[in-house]
Amino acid sequence: MFQLNVLKKYLTTFEMGFETALEYRLNFAISLISAAYPILIQTFLWTAIYQSTTEDALFGYTYRQIIAYTLLAGIVVRIVRTGFEYEIMQDVKTGKFSKFLVQPLGYFAYRLADFLGQKVPNLVMLFALLALMLLGLNVVWGVSVEFGRILLFLVTLALALALNFVIFFCISSIAFWIVEIGFLFEGVRIVIILLSGGIFPLEVFGETFVRITDLLPFKYTVSYPINVLNGKVAAEDILPHMLLQCFWIGACALLARGLWRVGSQRYVAVGG
Amino acid sequence: MIIQVRQLSKSFDYYTKELGLKNSVRNLFARKKLTKTAVGDISFEIDAGEMVGFLGPNGAGKTTTLKMLSGILHPTSGTASVLGYTPWERKKAFKMQFAIVMGQKNQLWWDLPANESLYLNKCIYEIDDQTYAATLAELTELLDVRDLLNVQVRRLSLGERMKMELIAALIHKPRLIFLDEPTIGLDIVSQKKFREFFKYYNQQQRATIILTSHYMEDVKDLCKRTIVINEGQIVYDGDLGQVNDVFAQSKLIKVQLSAPVSPETLAAFGVVREHTDVTATLQVPRAALKESSKIILDQLPVTDFTIEDIPVEEGIAELYQRRKHDHVSA
């Protein structure tokens, strides 16, 4: 009964996040349209590059593969994208965070529930788009994906979403030290998207770069799920990588916990 | 006893910067750290069911005190026991029993109707359905906002929103309520309604209410006991009506005159505080009230005559000033 009561708090938060997102559905639709531009530009760019070379594959990708990657990356980046860090910034800046200190409610769980709730309508649209895209690739180019890979892709994608949430929960703790950090969030986000393979496949940047990104959590948010789907990750490597993904979720969650403990103590000391 | 505060202090570190770019650059490398004592060594006790006002100028330490009592801030030193708990340990059982309303901060979800946020609070405070329905009905009735429950919060007026905030804060029937500037920004009619509500709630629910306000009326109207804080110190603790007794034992005599009297002449009867050609306000020692009255009535062309207390506002202002002088001389 006690557990149920606790769960109810976050379920209600989830529902309210969902309702809020529905209030802003037009906003989201417009953001989708604007997201199409970079994808379009990259498609033209790759087309030009592949036309000017005699080789069949660059960086280990054929022309069709690289276009498929670009399209998928455009959607996966959207799927794992966060946005709650601005709300956290506002909470800290305006002192609204105090409210959470005096209520019997966990801030992390509250933010997660709200975030997922707000994400649901977006996810529905994004997955519909993804299905259309896979279908289109299949019809036009005859690209076919195994059903098993799709299932594994969905699992890794869920983990990728969780991972990105904890990563940005860590980053949002900067709000305790710097008041106006909206610009920082965008800067960090672009770097992270680049490191996660959200713009180009990581191989484009060379071997050293790939080796560095292997040691970081970011590629598990975009590049890895796509590579599960397109077959770049060998079947026997899927599970170990999934475990690594889980490891990074745990590690970032621990880091977030530490950062938030120190940060909220600072908040308490300075006064909101 | 519901609140017991012993030598509670809170100081903040802050940095200063001299005017100009040069000093901005200098501050990047070495900043001068200063410490401000927001609350210094205060002690008081509050009994269950009391309604106590915290009065003081901006930056006096009222909000800081409330924040410590509600567990938002850790004190620099001292102890406090609130409802039997140490507030800054933030025990769940403690959180379930009190509420804090900050006039300038909202907890309602902006894009959704207020009843959604209220329902969330029902879940947060683990209130059962029946109690929730009854409390909600009572509060919306009292504050006259039943019809507005389904309206998006962003479409409500400030007064309506504050009422919803209040309902959100009281939905779990807290035994102890901290109100930090609850009527700020409200018009006079709304302020009055809020005061009536607090009075009623205090009596009906036997809830202890601690209130801070800039508006003297709020405190004068609601609180039998007032704690005046200035520069982090308690300068007065007692009945607000008697605040003037503490120092100047004076009364005001207001007279209306049938013919103009010069201020020089008036000065012979008492301290002239205000005067026009045909009216005057004179401050006289309380002990000499009877005597002065007699002389004034005899010697001046008086058509109307009233004796008044020095307004509480003035007494309070005097208290604020006094503390500053003490600091200077200390």
Per-residue pLDDT tens for B179-202?
998 888 888 888 888 899 999 999
Instruction: Tell me which chain A residue has its CA closest to the CA of residue B116.
Output: A16
Per-residue pLDDT tens for B7-66?
999 988 777 777 788 877 877 777 777 888 889 889 999 999 999 999 888 788 888 999
Mean predicted confidence (pLDDT) in B101-120: 88
Phi, psi of B56 (to 5 degrees): 170, 160
Put simply, whether A262 touches B (Cβ < 8 Å) is no
Please calculate the CA angle A154-A157-A160 and round it to the nearest 5 degrees.
160
Phi, psi of A200 (to 5 degrees): -125, 160
Hey, are the CB atoms on A19 and B116 less than 8 Å from each other? yes
Per-residue pLDDT tens for B67-105?
999 999 889 999 999 999 999 999 999 999 999 998 777
CB-based contact A169:A251 (threshold 8 Å): no
Phi, psi of B162 (to 5 degrees): -65, -35
Hey, are the CB atoms on B124 and A103 less than 8 Å from each other? yes
Give the C-alpha separation, B80 to B309, whole Å. Answer: 37
Confidence of residue B325 (pLDDT cuts 50, 70, 90): low
CA nearest to A200, candidates A208, A187, A210 = A210
Give the C-alpha separation, B240 to B48, whole Å. Answer: 20
Instruction: Indicate left, alpha or beta for B5 from its phi (over 0: left) and psi (-120 to 50: alpha).
Output: beta
Q: Are strands B279-285 and A57-58 parallel, antiparallel or unpaired?
A: unpaired
**Contacting residues for B142 by C-beta, under 8 A, at least 6 apart:** B197, B200, B201
Phi, psi of B30 (to 5 degrees): -140, 120
Residue among A16, A20, A102 minimizing CB distance to B71: A102
CB-based contact B103:B32 (threshold 8 Å): no
Question: How many CA atoms, within 13 angstroms, populate the side-chain half-sphere of residue B41?
Answer: 1
- DSSP notation for B265-326: HHHTTSEEEEE-SSEEEEEEEGGGHHHHHHHHHHHS-EEEEEEEEPPHHHHHHHHHHHHHHH
Give the C-alpha separation, A24 to B117, whole Å. Answer: 18
Confidence of residue B286 (pLDDT cuts 50, 70, 90): confident
| Minimal C-alpha gap between A11 and chain B (Å) | 9
Residues of B in contact with A271 (CB under 8 A): 12, 38, 64, 67, 73
Give the C-alpha separation, B194 to B192, whole Å. Answer: 5
ipTM of the complex: 0.83
| Minimal C-alpha gap between B281 and chain A (Å) | 46
**Which H or E run includes A39?**
helix A25-51
Residues of A in contact with B95 (CB under 8 A): 102-104
Confidence of residue B327 (pLDDT cuts 50, 70, 90): very low
CA nearest to B208, candidates B80, B42, B8, B46 = B46
**Contacting residues for B315 by C-beta, under 8 A, at least 6 apart:** B243, B244, B246, B247
Per-residue pLDDT tens for A67-104?
999 999 999 999 999 989 999 998 888 888 888 899 99
Q: Chain B interface, mutation test: which of A5, A16, A103, A270, most B Cβ atoms within 10 Å?
A: A103
Q: Would the pLDDT of B107 be above 90?
A: no
Instruction: Tell me which chain B residue has its CA closest to the CA of residue A18.
Output: B112
CA of B216: how far to CAs of A70, A265, B53, B240, B248, in Å?
65, 35, 10, 10, 20
pTM over 0.90: no
Hey, are the CB atoms on B105 and A95 less than 8 Å from each other? yes
CB-based contact B52:B66 (threshold 8 Å): no
pLDDT for residue B215: 76
CA of B11: how far to CAs of B61, B225, B297, B324, in Å?
10, 27, 55, 18
Q: Would the pLDDT of B150 be above 50?
A: yes
pLDDT for residue A272: 43
Residue A106 burial by CB count (10 A; 0-12/13-18/19+): exposed, middle or buried?
middle
Hey, are the CB atoms on A19 and B105 less than 8 Å from each other? no
Please calculate the CA angle A250-A255-A261 and round it to the nearest 5 degrees.
125
pLDDT for residue A55: 85
| Minimal C-alpha gap between A183 and chain B (Å) | 20
Hey, are the CB atoms on A98 and B112 less than 8 Å from each other? no
Which residue carries 């907890």 as its tokens?
Answer: B107
Q: Collect all residues from B whose CB is shorter than 8 A from any CB in A.
A: 12, 38, 64, 67, 70-74, 88, 90, 92, 95-96, 98-100, 102, 105-107, 109, 111-112, 116-117, 119-120, 123-126
Hey, are the CB atoms on A102 and B107 less than 8 Å from each other? no
Residues of B in contact with A110 (CB under 8 A): none
Instruction: Tell me which chain B residue has its CA closest to the CA of residue A270.
Output: B12
Put simply, whether A25 touches B (Cβ < 8 Å) is no
Q: Are strands B98-102 and B302-309 parallel, antiparallel or unpaired?
A: unpaired
Give the C-alpha separation, A222 to A160, whole Å. Answer: 7
Ranges of chain A with pLDDT below 50: 272
| Minimal C-alpha gap between A125 and chain B (Å) | 22
Q: Which two structure tokens, joined as six digits, stand for B284?
A: 């006289």
**Which H or E run includes B263?**
helix B263-267
CA nearest to A248, candidates A172, A189, A165, A171 = A165
Confidence of residue B248 (pLDDT cuts 50, 70, 90): low
**Contacting residues for A19 by C-beta, under 8 A, at least 6 apart:** A117, B111, B112, B116
Per-residue pLDDT tens for B219-240?
888 888 999 888 888 888 988 7
Question: How many CA atoms, within 13 angstroms, populate the side-chain half-sphere of residue A6?
Answer: 9
- What order do you get walking across the sheet with B77-82 strand by strand? B33-46, B3-15, B77-82
CA of A193: how far to CAs of A83, A222, B329, in Å?
14, 8, 62
Residue among B67, B102, B124 minimizing CB distance to A105: B124
Hey, are the CB atoms on B74 and A13 less than 8 Å from each other? no
Question: How many CA atoms, within 13 angstroms, populate the side-chain half-sphere of residue A224?
Answer: 32
pLDDT for residue B167: 94
Largest distance between two CA atoms of chain B? 74
Q: Which two structure tokens, joined as six digits, stand for A10?
A: 């976050």
Put simply, whether A106 touches B (Cβ < 8 Å) is no
Give the C-alpha separation, B117 to B108, whole Å. Answer: 6
Give chain B's length.
Answer: 330
Residue among B72, B106, B116 minimizing CB distance to A102: B72
CB-based contact B206:B35 (threshold 8 Å): no
pLDDT for residue B119: 96
| Minimal C-alpha gap between B251 and chain A (Å) | 43
Q: Which two structure tokens, joined as six digits, stand for B136?
A: 């909600």
